[in-house]
Amino acid sequence: MKYIFFIALFVFSGCVSKEEDSKEEGSKEEDSKEEGSNENDSNISIDAMGFGQKTSMKITKVFDAGERVKGEKIEARFKVENTGRYPLVFGEIKGSCSCTVAEKPEAPILPGKKGVIKAIVDTEKFDSGYKLNKIVTVMANTVPKNIVKLKIIGTIK
């Protein structure tokens, strides 16, 4: 048992020293780039690439599914409009439980354009009379809030 511990310690210490060596090599490469190499074209600011730019959106926050039959899959569609000056980019979009699966637009929504966030609720495990109240959490590059909560409501017959 002691031998396994010492072997693991030896391997781990070797990995740490290799990481430190690679960090030193990386900093040497950065220093040589700063000394005036011809790689100025690759020094684009983060804002120029579209990161960190905040925008605004108009979104339908509640989807009323009405009365639904147990076992039916509800497809909620939330309309989104980019009302800002920069592309609207969605980060993580997730449902409040395993019965709710959300899907974000594949590409950023350009200023003035519209898109749709879809969410599917599987009602198989709900009893008759169940009051549906599911939440979809949306993260995006928006102001004043970058996290928005969407609601899916309804009743199971």
Could you tell me the CATH number of the domain that includes residue 127? Answer: 2.60.40.10
84 with 62, same domain: the answer is yes
d(CA 133, CA 97): 11
91 with 14, same domain: the answer is no
Q: Per-residue pLDDT tens for 69-106?
A: 999 999 999 999 999 999 999 999 999 999 999 999 98
Q: What's the predicted TM-score (pTM) here?
A: 0.66
Please state the domain count of the chain: 2
Answer whether residue 33 is part of any domain: yes
62 with 90, same domain: the answer is yes
Is 90 exceeded by the pLDDT of residue 47? no
26 with 69, same domain: the answer is no
Is 80 exceeded by the pLDDT of residue 6? no
d(CA 110, CA 123): 34
pLDDT band at 116 (very low <50, low <70, confident <90, very high): very high
Answer whether residue 137 is part of any domain: yes
What residues contact 78, with CB distance under 8 A and at least 6 apart?
A: 59, 60, 61, 63, 116, 117, 118, 119, 136, 150
pLDDT for 8 equals 42
39 with 66, same domain: the answer is no
Is 60 exceeded by the pLDDT of residue 42? no
Is 90 exceeded by the pLDDT of residue 119? yes
pLDDT for 36 equals 39
Answer whether residue 37 is part of any domain: yes
d(CA 26, CA 11): 23
User: If you average pLDDT over each of 5-14, 24-33, 51-60, 126-135, which comes out highest?
Assistant: 126-135
SS3 content of the chain, % helix, strand, coil (to 5): 25, 40, 35
129 with 78, same domain: the answer is yes
pLDDT for 51 equals 54
- Which domain, by its residues, includes 135? 57-156
39 with 96, same domain: the answer is no
Answer whether residue 116 is part of any domain: yes
